[in-house]
Amino acid sequence: MPLSSHRFLLTIIVLCAASTLSAFTVKRNVNDPTPPEEVVVIFDKDASHDHIELIPNGKECRMDFAEDGAIQIHFDGNAEANPEIRWEAGENRPSPFNARDYNYVILRCQWSGQQTRTFPNGRTREEQPDNPWFTTTLLDTEGVRTSGLNIASITGNEAVPREMVTLKIPMALYLQTAFNDPSQLEAVAFKMAKTHDYNQRDYTFTIERIALAN
């Protein structure tokens, strides 16, 4: 192909890319080291939680508020569980909310506990897997979810957080393969996958704060 034709094709590609990018509004560079600014606080352990509804959605899952006000999600046994956290709308706290209005979901949380594995000879062993396949998602008003995100992958070290950490989850990750209406979201949800019958869980996921940020 002549050089002039190469230059013509390159020009077309650049123009098309520029046109595509111009269709989006970038609110914030996700590589910016500046901490995201919280604009909506859905839950904080030190504030009233009268507006919060906890829904376990699992026969071996329990949810409650700890003495310090934090949300605790307990997983026993080995069955699947799909706990949800919902809230009533309030001042500066929309429900439902439009995911496209925010760049991050802020989740201050900690994972604790272990599972006990029983071997065919009756011997048992306590295990603390780095990745227990525990995911987070967002639900719309019809109960349909966005993408499910593995908590262990979000932390950056491929392990659930054994200490209290603040996860800044890009909203774009939730929306990469969303199956629902991202403009009508009303719940932060989780999924604990079923495990083998020879495993017995004793896990607790503690949440101190949930917020939306830009």
pLDDT tens per residue across span 25-61: 344 454 556 779 999 999 999 999 999 999 999 999 9
Structure tokens at 190: 């989780």
- Spatial contact of 184 and 141, defined as CB atoms under 8 Å apart: yes
pLDDT of residue 159: 96
pLDDT of residue 178: 64
C-alpha 143/C-alpha 165 separation (Å) is 28
Q: Average pLDDT for residues 131-149, to the nearest whole number? A: 94
Half-sphere exposure of 151 (CA within 13 A, CB side): 27
pLDDT of residue 32: 57
Look over the chain and give the mean of its residue pLDDT values, rounded to a whole number. Answer: 87
Rounded to a whole number of angstroms, the CA Rg of the chain reads: 21
The model's pLDDT over 99-128, given as tens digits with 9 standing for 90+, comes to 999 999 999 999 999 999 999 999 999 999
Residue 129, pLDDT above cutoff 80: yes
Residue 77, pLDDT above cutoff 60: yes
H helices of 62-193, in order, are 151-154, 171-175
The model's pLDDT over 151-201, given as tens digits with 9 standing for 90+, comes to 999 998 999 999 999 999 999 999 987 678 899 999 999 999 999 999 999
- Spatial contact of 199 and 80, defined as CB atoms under 8 Å apart: no
